[in-house]
Amino acid sequence: MTRYAFITGALLCGAAALTGVATADDAAPTAAAAAPTAASADPLTQSRAERLAIGVCGTCHGPRGNSQQPKYPRLAGQNANYIAAQLRAFRSQSRGDPDAIGYMWGMAANLDDGVIDALASYYAAQAPRHGSVGDASLIARGGEIFTQGIENASVPPCAACHGPDGHGLADYPRLASQHSQYLLKQLSSFQNKMRDVAVMHGVAEGLKTPEMRAVAAYLQAQP
């Protein structure tokens, strides 16, 4: 079995059963899945979360989660379990990429589980805006990588975990319509192992910068 086939098989199994190698950054979604959501939150917690989302988080992410600043991720329509897992990772300081340390560790430090789950459900319920469309040839190449991978570089299809439309599967995040600048920054963090997500280390290490740019351009253009 080739390394490419092994990684692809592992990703497909992980997407179905969520039994991949757990690390400080990617172990949290399993716990988040069992946590209460905003739908079951008491009215005070729900109200507090919405005020935070609009009045505080909205400064960077937009009041409805559709950030207009390419440095900051769009959260509208994101999987609730994924958002909750990342907020818990920020709170525990187990997600260590530069923006997590510089911004989100402090922002999440005093969030309790109820508010985290309510924030996650708030953003998941928002309608994501379409991303901007760029160079057609770059987008086409990115689409090939996303759906087919790069076999000779042992890069599996991104769609195996993130879904054929980039909307995410189970606890794997939605990537469609995300800012390309933010996606490139995260891929770089995975390559440099600043984000402790074992499965993404294996995926990102085989990508060259032009290929990362292509995938990011493709995803930004998706609805």
Residue 23 covered by a domain: no
pLDDT at position 4 is: 52
Other CB atoms within 10 Å distance of the CB of residue 90 = 23
Identify the residue with better confidence: 196 or 91.
91
Q: E strand or H helix at 217, and its extent? A: helix 209-220
pLDDT at position 2 is: 52
Considering 124, 143, 178, which residue would you say is the last residue of a domain? Answer: 124
What single string gives the DSSP state of each residue in 89-157?
HHHHT---SHHIIIIIHHHHTT--HHHHHHHHHHHHTSPPPPPP---HHHHHHHHHHHHH-BGGGTB--
Distances from the Cα of 18 to the Cα of 76, 117, 119, 208, angstroms: 23, 20, 23, 27
Q: Domain limits at 32?
A: 28-124
Whether residues 120 and 140 share a domain: the answer is: no
* CATH classification at residue 32: 1.10.760.10
> pLDDT, tens digit, for every residue of 19-67?
232 334 544 333 333 334 444 678 899 999 999 999 999 999 999 999 9
Whether residues 101 and 141 share a domain: the answer is: no
Identify the residue with better confidence: 115 or 22.
115
Residue 191 covered by a domain: yes
